[in-house]
Structure 1
Amino acid sequence: MTFPTFVDLLRQIYVNVAEHEFALPDKPQTDSRVSLLTGVHRKEVSRLRGAGAPVRVIPESVSRTSAIVARWLADPMFTDARGAPLPLPRMAETGEASFAGLVESVTRDLRPRAVLDDWLDRKLVEIDEEDRVVLMEAAMAPRDDGEVRLYYFARNLQDHATAAVANILADKPPFIERAVHYDGLSEDLARSLEAYSRKVVVETLLYLNKHANQAVKRDPGGTSRWNCGVYILTADGASFAGEDSSKPAGGDA
């Protein structure tokens, strides 16, 4: 991603957050107020608002794929005793787990064969020696689809920024935003900690997905949404001045 593209996307996020998260009660949000909140020129605000709210538009490829994968990772019918996604036969008798049954449990608008062909092409699944459909790690962390990556980049950055700002403005920070960090490490230890934290994070997200996927079946629905995200970074650089690099730090923003 080039720097101008990054700046334009960030500008869209600023305008979107200001428009939807900082509107005054019972008053329409104006271009002038959004410009005042964000520092983005009013003409640019008008253009971006007129073009819609891109960070809230979920690409079709994201919505259908994520819903099916989430069900595969969470529903006891499609997971083994350890909670891992089962290899699924393409078709099966009624009441038995199958890839066709998985897709149809989420949507009737797509043919399971069309989904399978698309996922095989995108390397989200593979066919094993028993002709079963096996979920690949890429399905949980797609890297090749630029539309998907840009969507989650915008969504996650927006939500993180919104939570951070809310925590700063409130007397009692309403959201958890914490990090454990060590500086002055060898590269080997940094990479080791990255691998361990990645394992813990993936297990936690899978557990949360399983809990939410089951809970949503009993939910009447509404306008609220929930997002729980994490990030991991290893980098080569000097410690921040004044920090004790020998101790972990967890901070609420």
Structure 2
Amino acid sequence: MTDAGHGPTADKLYPPLARVLRPLVRLCIRAGMTFPALSQLLRELYVNVAEYDFALPGKEQTDSRVSLLTGIHRKEVSRLRGAGAPVNAVPASVSRTGAIIARWLAAPRFCDAAGAPLPLPRTAQGGHPSFEELVASVTRDLRPRAVLDEWIDRRIVSIDARDRIVLAESAFIPQQGDDEKLYYFGRNLQDHLAAATANVLTAPPPFLERSVHYDGLSDELARRLEARSRELALEMLQKLNREANAACQTDPGGEHRWNCGVYIFSENAAPAKPDESGRR
């Protein structure tokens, strides 16, 4: 539970929240989500968070207290309590695709000496690893041929001249509009914001949340730094994936989860020039 009495005051939150919300508002407008629709979502979330995250130990959370915490009318609170948003739902395609690709990128049997994913024949040949074995090592609920057809259609894999299945170099970057892309958008931003929020509310900050940033760069240098940071970030994530995948083979399991992410951003930050009317 978070204590509402600790942390920054509401007035100090305005500037950073404006920066955080601006790209989200841009996405909402492009997607056709109007302000009333977003407002309704926020109203539901305010009630849900106040109901569960701000309950007092040993006391039943009441409509009056939720109303006091959120500023939402008690009758509206009574209507919305218990609704919440299914923010933790994982699309089945995300779960199965992510698990199979993670194993392909991590398990020594499916990687070469340098740790790169091996091109795989469709079926086992002379004891060598195959795509069929890869899929079966993660789940037996899916036919490898069905997975292959789906992945070829989505360009996650390709077939080389020797009829081997090759993981795409960009794996895995979901295509625009796919459920996978929106799922990772929500999950990764949630975890990044959760870590940053915990660091604001807690001393010392419990999570690593840092960045390297430079302003006033030429376009050429910005592009070079972006390419280099992509290279280093991918190398780190692949190494962590291999270590985590190996450790999971002997881990007894539990209720914890772990997420390590990296973001890279670059833009032309020059202010917009006004037109003849003086508008920007």
TM-score by length of 2: 0.74
Tell me the distance in 2 between the aligned counterparts of 1:76 and 1:100.
Answer: 16
Q: Give the corresponding residue for 2:274.
A: none
Correspondence list, 1:80-95, <5 A? 80-93=112-125, 95=127
Q: Verify: 1:5 aligned to 2:15, yes or no.
A: no
In structure 2, do the counterparts of structure 1 residues 236 and 174 end up closer, same or farther at CA, with 3 Å as the change threshold? same
Tell me the secondary structure at the aligned position of residue 89 of structure 1: coil
Structure 2: any 5+ residue segments left out of the alignment? 1-26, 272-280
Task: For residue 143 of structure 1, report the CA deviation from its aligned partner.
Answer: 2.5
What CA deviation, in whole Å up to 9, does each residue of 1:143-191 have, x standing for no partner? 3452111111111111111111111111211000001000111111111
The match for 2:134 among 102, 109, 117 is 102
Instruction: Give the secondary structure class of the aligned counterpart of 1:176.
Output: coil
Q: Structure 1 unaligned runs (5+)?
A: 240-253
Q: Residue type of the partner of 2:33?
A: T
Q: How many residues align?
A: 238
Q: Deviations along 1:123-149, whole A, 9 cap, x unmatched?
A: 100110100000003432223452111
Aligned to 2:5: none
1:180 equivalent in alignment to 2:212: yes
2:4 paired residue number: none
Would you say 1:166 and 2:198 are equivalent positions? yes
Aligned partner of residue 232 in structure 1, secondary structure = coil
In the alignment, structure 1 residue 199 sits paired with structure 2 residue 231: yes
Of 124, 149, 161, the residue aligned with 1:129 is 161
Match of residue 247 from structure 2: 215
- Higher mean C-alpha deviation, range 223-232 or range 131-140: 131-140
Q: Is contact 1:119–1:125 with CA below 8 Å preserved after alignment?
A: yes
Task: Tell me, yes or no, if the aligned pair for 1:18 and 1:38 is still in contact at 8 Å.
Answer: yes
* Partner Cα distance (1:44, 1:14) in 2: 9
Q: For residues 192 and 45 of structure 1, what CA distance do their matches in structure 2 show?
A: 55
Code of the aligned partner of 2:261: G
Cα 1:142–1:195 shift into 2, 3 Å: same
Higher relative contact order (CA 8 A, sep 6+): 1
Counterpart amino acid of residue 122 in structure 1: R
**Residues 212 and 130 of structure 1, relative CA distance in 2, 3 Å threshold:** same
CA 1:194–1:41: 2 relative to 1, 3 Å: farther
Q: Percent identity?
A: 59
**Alpha-carbon separation, structure 1, partners of 2:49 and 2:190:** 7
Aligned to 1:246: none
Structure 2 CA distance, aligned partners of 1:74 and 1:133?
Answer: 17
Residue identity matched to 1:212:
A
Written as runs of structure 1 = structure 2, the 5 A alignment for 1:8-47 is 8=38, 11=42, 24-25=56-57, 43=76, 47=80
- Code of the aligned partner of 1:135: L
Match of 1:117 among 123, 146, 149: 149
Distance in 1 of aligned mates of 2:219 and 2:152 = 37
Match of 1:148 in 2: 180
1:55 counterpart residue number: 87
Residues 206, 25 of structure 1: CA spacing in aligned structure 2 closer, same or farther, 3 A cutoff? farther
Compute the RMSD of aligned alpha carbons: 3.1
Q: Secondary structure at the match of 1:90?
A: coil
Larger-Rg structure = 2
Moved more, 136-145 or 175-184: 136-145
* AA at the equivalent of 2:154: R
Equivalent residues of 1:17, 1:158 under 8 A apart? no
TM-score (norm 1): 0.81
Among 86, 102, 116, the alignment partner of 1:70 is: 102
**Is 1:157 the equivalent of 2:183?**
no
- Report the alpha carbon displacement of residue 223 of structure 1 after superposing the two structures with TM: 1.1
